[in-house]
Amino acid sequence: METTTYFCSKQKRMKKIIIGFIILAAGLLLLGFNTGILDPSFKHLIFSWPVLLIALGLANFFDRSSFWAGVILTSIGAFFFLPRLIEFHFNFIHLFWPFLLILIGVVMILKRVFFKSFSHHHGHIRGGSKIEDGVIDESNIFGSSNRIIQPCNFKGGKISNVFAGSKIDLTRTTLSDQENYLDISCVFGGVEVIVPSNWKIQIQVSSIMGAFSDKRLVNNNQIIDNSKTLIIKGSVVFGGGEIKSFN
């Protein structure tokens, strides 16, 4: 348990460091373009949505629970970035769906090989879902899940979906004290989180060709517990997510 916790903590630190380097590089490039040190004609290439996909993908490489999401994000970003660098004499976009099918096949094959190798060296296989000490760790690739979390002191965790969807019912749980973080990563997938209607929730999810919203029913008589907060952060790309409650 201590080894797993240390490993996950190390992954989180690496991911934050990579994101920090990406932001630093973006700032330096923007400074160069705005001061004329760099050719401004390249500004539209660097600051574009395909490059944003590549950057998000690279950041996810260092997080085991969203590694394959990083592979797909980087591949799709690189696919749409390539025509901006090279002039093709045919409609390059028509290759997207064949490329996507090939990518899905490659990921499925590598997923099996990688998981088998990882299991052999580390004694377990990443995938599926689990909750331990009030922290959820769920990943779905080309599949789906529907889970009811049993009574516990919920502290957050991670949900990663790649070409997949998940439904998580938290209505039997209670939030632990203060702030609790749920990190969501969806690529061509979605997530539905069902929570008690009196939970205080903050959404800090970035969306690219997707959306994440709070669709709980508004009840003016409902008293929100402001002493505890569930902060939902992460990203959805070509996907979506929503927060719901039963009442």
Instruction: Note down pLDDT in tens along the chain; length 247 residues.
Output: 444 444 455 666 777 787 788 889 889 998 998 898 988 888 888 888 888 888 888 877 776 667 777 888 888 888 888 888 877 777 777 787 788 778 777 777 776 665 554 444 433 334 456 777 888 988 887 778 889 988 889 999 889 888 888 999 999 999 988 789 999 888 888 899 999 888 889 998 888 778 898 888 766 677 777 788 999 988 888 888 999 987 6
Residue 102 has a pLDDT of 83
Residues 66 and 90 both lie in one domain: yes
> Would you put residue 99 in left (φ > 0), alpha (ψ -120 to 50) or beta?
alpha
Tokens of 170: 């938290």
How many distinct structural domains can be found in the chain? 2
Residues 10 and 75 both lie in one domain: yes
Q: Which of 3, 6, 1, 8 is nearest to 160 (CA)?
A: 8
Residue 9 has a pLDDT of 56
Amino acid at 186: C
Residue 232 has a pLDDT of 92
Residues 49 and 152 both lie in one domain: no
Residue 240 has a pLDDT of 87
Q: Which of 80, 115, 114 is nearest to 94 (CA)?
A: 80
What is the side-by-side strand order in the sheet with 135-141?
Answer: 128-132, 135-141, 156-162, 178-187, 225-237, 199-208
Residues 118 and 137 both lie in one domain: no
The domain boundary, picked from 75, 104, 122, lies at 122
Task: Give CA–CA dist 1/196, Å, rounded.
Answer: 29
Residues 114 and 151 both lie in one domain: no
The domain boundary, picked from 122, 153, 188, lies at 122
Residues 99 and 162 both lie in one domain: no
Residues 174 and 80 both lie in one domain: no
Residue 186 has a pLDDT of 85
Residue 167 has a pLDDT of 92
Question: Would the pTM count as exceeding 0.75?
Answer: no
Residues 132 and 56 both lie in one domain: no
Residues 62 and 152 both lie in one domain: no
Q: Which of 182, 131, 179, 135 is nearest to 160 (CA)?
A: 182
Task: Give CA–CA dist 148/23, Å, rounded.
Answer: 38
Residues 42 and 99 both lie in one domain: yes
Residues 153 and 191 both lie in one domain: yes
Domain coverage including residue 82: 2-122
Residues 103 and 135 both lie in one domain: no
Residue 127 has a pLDDT of 46
The domain boundary, picked from 63, 96, 122, lies at 122
Residue 2 has a pLDDT of 43
